[in-house]
Structure 1
Amino acid sequence: MDQLQIKDLEIFAYHGLFPSEKELGQKFVISASLSYDMTKAATELDLTASVHYGELCQQWTTWFQESTEDLIETVAYKLVERTFETYPLVQEIELELKKPWAPVHLPLDTCSVTIRRRKQRAFIALGSNMGDKQANLEQAIDKLQARGIHILKESSVLTTEPWGGVDQDSFANQVIEVETWLPASVLLETLLAIESELGRVREVHWGPRLIDLDLLFVEDQVIYTDDLILPHPYITERLFVLEPLAEIAPHFIHPILKQPIRYLVDQLEQGNA
């Protein structure tokens, strides 16, 4: 993908763990690469399809100086976050933040941190069977958007019978496709935080829930850790997930089974017949 390169932008600011760093300040140096499609800007002279690097450098300077942080990792992360928020056309950012005057007291040219993030698409299943179910789904989506997660598609809301053998009310189920630069593990943490904010209490396994947010896919990533399994391990067993997923992404290929979602729906329906 096309890239805009900015190298060695110098900014004087007051970040650091030590009191002297916050009192006296020091020089920081930013280098970054922003990836986006430049075709429209280049061929049609469309400035809205471009990033004004002069304005961006001024914005970085303003953002950099408006607060004081202990860690340069925090500063770099916030710069990446604000840049994605301000320039939706940017698909990937690699940003290096150098601290040439770091208080190391040894021969040192500079120390730096580099953060690399790219936008990716993910699918999230939403469910609720307590209170105002429709409102619960809408609140969850609002909270995702408030965290900078862009909603690309929303399926219809389906009314489905509970799954898992626990006697309870029917569910309102939905699947959405989102775009986010958050890594899969952080996206999962975000979903759990939203569940908590909306009042979900985990008392009965597969039991009633005010809101349920399941991370189904993050592009074609396959992850197996104690905290996260991708793709979601129960996708192929749940019509209430597959049907709304097929509505918005029938041709998405399951990265392990190598089959499109529409085919997985057919398989499960035939098996239940």
Structure 2
Amino acid sequence: MDQLRIKDLEVYAYHGLFGAEKELGQRFVLDLILDYDMTRAAQTKDLSASIHYGELAEQLTRWCQAEKEDLIETLAYHLINQIFFHYPLVEKVSLEVKKPWAPIPLPLDTCSVKLERSKRKAFIGLGTNQGDKAANLDAALKKIADNQKIQILKTSSRLKTEPWGGVEQEDFLNQVIQLETWMTPEELLETLLTIELDLGRVREIKWGPRLIDLDILYIGQELIDSPDLILPHPYVAERDFVLKSLVELAPHFIDPVKRKSMRQLLAELEKNHP
């Protein structure tokens, strides 16, 4: 991927745990790498397909001076969010924030933190079987779309489905969306769980009725096995309504574990469970 680099941008700002750091300020140094496709800009001289590094340097300075943060980790995180929000061209950001005047009584050149974030495409399954089901899905989609770190790319049709898991309850209304985000998988999960809570979901019975359910099905080709998140979602290949929606959105998307497309997985499921 093509890269734009800004190296050793000095900014005088007011970040640190100590009161004197926020009152007197100190020097910070930024090293930035942006990944984005420069082909169109190079071939056509279209400025809208490029990033003005002078303007970006001025913005970084303003953003760095806008708030007073305790941690340079927080500063770097906020700067990355600003870059992705203001520059949709960018696919990946690598940012190092150096603190050469860190209050450490030892001989050292600088202290720094380095954060990297990349845009990811993810598939999210939505389901509801309580109250006004269509309104529940609409409300969830709005909250997802209102998050500045998320862009909804595609939405599937809505399918009425029978309950899955053996608990007697109303039928579900289900849907799948494809989104793009620069959040980490863990941050995306936390965001979706917060939306569920905001909309009134209460977790009482496993596989039981739910006002809203937001499941991460895939994040690109990533494989994750943690106490909080398993990717791909372990039941994708067993749920025909999920596969039907995924086939509608991305029939040739490959499951990174089974190494088969959504269309192939759906055909196998329908063959084995006619």
Question: Which bin holds the TM-score, normalised by the shorter protein?
Answer: over 0.9
1:143 and 1:47 mapped to 2: Cα distance? 33
Q: Give the corresponding residue for 2:191.
A: 190
Letter in 1 for 2:253: F
- Structure 2: give runs of 5+ residues left out of the alignment: none
1:201 aligns with 2:202: yes
1:143 aligns with 2:143: yes
The alpha carbon displacement at 1:183 in A equals: 1.4
1:138 and 1:54 mapped to 2: Cα distance? 41
Normalised to the residue count of structure 1, the TM-score between the two structures is 0.98
Give the match's secondary structure for 1:97: strand
Give the match's secondary structure for 1:264: helix
Q: Give the corresponding residue for 1:232.
A: 233
The alpha carbon displacement at 1:145 in A equals: 2.0
- Structure 1: give runs of 5+ residues left out of the alignment: none
Q: Give the corresponding residue for 2:247.
A: 246
The alpha carbon displacement at 1:191 in A equals: 1.0
Give the match's secondary structure for 2:9: strand
Q: Give the corresponding residue for 1:102.
A: 102
Give the match's secondary structure for 2:221: coil
Q: Give the corresponding residue for 2:262.
A: 261
Q: Give the corresponding residue for 1:132.
A: 132
2:223 and 2:45 mapped to 1: Cα distance? 40
1:161 aligns with 2:162: yes
2:31 and 2:127 mapped to 1: Cα distance? 43
Deviations 1:70-121 (A, max 9, x none): 0000000000011000001100000000000000011111000000111111
Q: Give the corresponding residue for 1:18.
A: 18
The alpha carbon displacement at 1:210 in A equals: 0.7
2:135 and 2:76 mapped to 1: Cα distance? 37
1:145 and 1:10 mapped to 2: Cα distance? 35
2:6 and 2:49 mapped to 1: Cα distance? 18
Q: Give the corresponding residue for 2:66.
A: 66
1:47 aligns with 2:38: no
Give the match's secondary structure for 2:253: coil
- Supply the RMSD in Å over aligned alpha carbons: 0.9
Normalised to the residue count of structure 2, the TM-score between the two structures is 0.98
Q: Give the corresponding residue for 2:76.
A: 76
Give the match's secondary structure for 2:186: helix
2:200 and 2:89 mapped to 1: Cα distance? 35
Give the match's secondary structure for 2:8: strand
2:201 and 2:51 mapped to 1: Cα distance? 41
Give the match's secondary structure for 2:265: helix
Letter in 2 for 1:26: Q
Matches within 5 A, 1:19-38: 19-38=19-38
1:138 and 1:128 mapped to 2: Cα distance? 11
Q: Give the corresponding residue for 2:118.
A: 118
The alpha carbon displacement at 1:266 in A equals: 0.9
1:210 aligns with 2:211: yes
2:228 and 2:96 mapped to 1: Cα distance? 29
1:61 and 1:142 mapped to 2: Cα distance? 33
The alpha carbon displacement at 1:170 in A equals: 1.1
Letter in 2 for 1:12: Y
1:167 and 1:5 mapped to 2: Cα distance? 58
Of all paired residues, the percent bearing the same amino acid is 59
Moved more, 118-127 or 134-143: 134-143
> Size of the alignment, in residue pairs?
273
1:181 aligns with 2:215: no
